[in-house]
């Protein structure tokens, strides 16, 4: 494809515009990822608190069961104490008395268990309070970070629109066929269409070029592509065209 020397310089400038635009796009693409990571952090804190609350609820249910057991045991003791009045023999009295003592022992054991549950419950309350405070702090911190990110996003979007407008205005001065070729190479080559020839080496893919490439480039009438990566070569002494 034929190309004038000033057009090659324009493509180099265009590449600079595209590099800035791509960097802004990368920043913008990264914002949702960072927001999602922060939201995951907040969700993890919430889940940790919910887990403690859930374990506490389980404990309270077990304590409730124990309190019901204790009530039953106390009823049993009361009933046996009444029965004690109506026993006829000493033997029956002693048997009833020993049953009452057994029930009292069991009631006391249940009471001890309930006390342990109460202490554990206090520990859970403290943990819930700590986790709840940590969650609130994390939520404030995360909301602030997200706000900053959204500010950066808006700023980058503004810059992107301005850079795109500049790029489009500049590209309007480049012949359509040449621009199409540049865009094609750029699309196929990871966003980089232009490659500086340094000595005999393509500075993007680092492959050596045949001597004829340098000669053709010096003539400056045709596009010279890198033999390896197919990018559009330009001589190292070529300065980018000044944008209008
Ligand atoms: Zn190359």
- Report mean pLDDT in 10-residue bins for the chain, 244 residues: 89 96 96 96 95 97 97 96 92 94 97 97 97 95 96 97 97 95 97 96 97 92 96 89 66
Q: ∠ at Cα 98 (95, 101), nearest 5°?
A: 155
Tell me the C-alpha distance between 28 and 59, whole Å: 48
Give the per-residue pLDDT at 112: 97
Phi, psi angle pair for 198, to nearest 5° = -115, 110
Give the per-residue pLDDT at 5: 80
Gap from CA of 200 to ligand 1 centroid (Å) = 11
What is the dotted CATH code of the domain comprising 23-171? 1.10.287.1490
20's CB contacts (< 8 A; 6+ apart) are 163
Gap from CA of 208 to ligand 1 centroid (Å) = 8
Q: Which residues of 129-148 are buried (b: 16+ CB within 10 A; e: fewer)?
A: eebeeebeebeeebeeebee
Tokens encoding 199 = 């000595």
The structure's pTM equals 0.75
Choose among 150, 148, 146: nearest CA to 138. Answer: 146
Tokens encoding 32 = 């949702």
230: helix, strand or coil: coil
Tell me the C-alpha distance between 213 and 211, whole Å: 5
Gap from CA of 207 to ligand 1 centroid (Å) = 6
Domain boundaries, the chain: 23-171
Give the per-residue pLDDT at 238: 85
Residues bordering ligand 1, an ion, CB closer than 5 Å:
195, 202, 204-205, 226, 228-229
Furthest C-alpha separation in the chain: 131
195's enclosing H/E stretch is strand 194-198
Give the per-residue pLDDT at 220: 87
Q: By CB neighbour count within 10 A (0-12 exposed, 13-18 middle, 19+ buried), where does 91 fall?
A: exposed
Give the per-residue pLDDT at 63: 97
């Amino acid at each position: 494809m034929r190309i004038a020397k000033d057009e090659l310089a324009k493509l180099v400038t265009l590449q600079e515009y595209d590099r800035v635009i791509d960097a802004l796009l990368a920043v913008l693409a990264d914002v949702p990822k960072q927001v999602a990571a922060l939201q995951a952090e907040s969700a993890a804190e919430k889940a940790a608190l919910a887990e403690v609350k859930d374990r506490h609820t389980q404990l309270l249910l077990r304590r409730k069961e124990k309190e019901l057991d204790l009530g039953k045991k106390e009823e049993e003791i009361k009933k046996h104490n009444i029965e004690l009045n109506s026993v006829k023999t000493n033997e029956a009295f002693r048997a009833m008395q020993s049953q009452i003592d057994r029930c009292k022992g069991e009631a006391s054991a249940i009471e001890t268990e309930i006390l342990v549950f109460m202490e554990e419950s206090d520990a859970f309350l403290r943990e819930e309070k700590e986790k709840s405070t940590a969650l609130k702090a994390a939520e404030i911190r995360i909301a602030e970070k997200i706000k900053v990110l959204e500010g950066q996003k808006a700023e980058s979007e503004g810059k992107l629109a301005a850079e795109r407008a500049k790029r489009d205005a500049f590209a309007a001065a480049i012949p359509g066929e040449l621009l199409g070729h540049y865009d094609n190479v750029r699309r196929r080559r990871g966003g980089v269409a232009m490659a500086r020839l340094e000595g005999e080496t393509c500075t993007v893919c680092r492959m050596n070029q045949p001597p004829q490439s340098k000669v053709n480039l010096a003539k400056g009438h045709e596009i010279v592509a890198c033999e390896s990566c197919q990018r559009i070569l330009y001589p190292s002494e070529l300065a980018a065209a000044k944008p209008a």
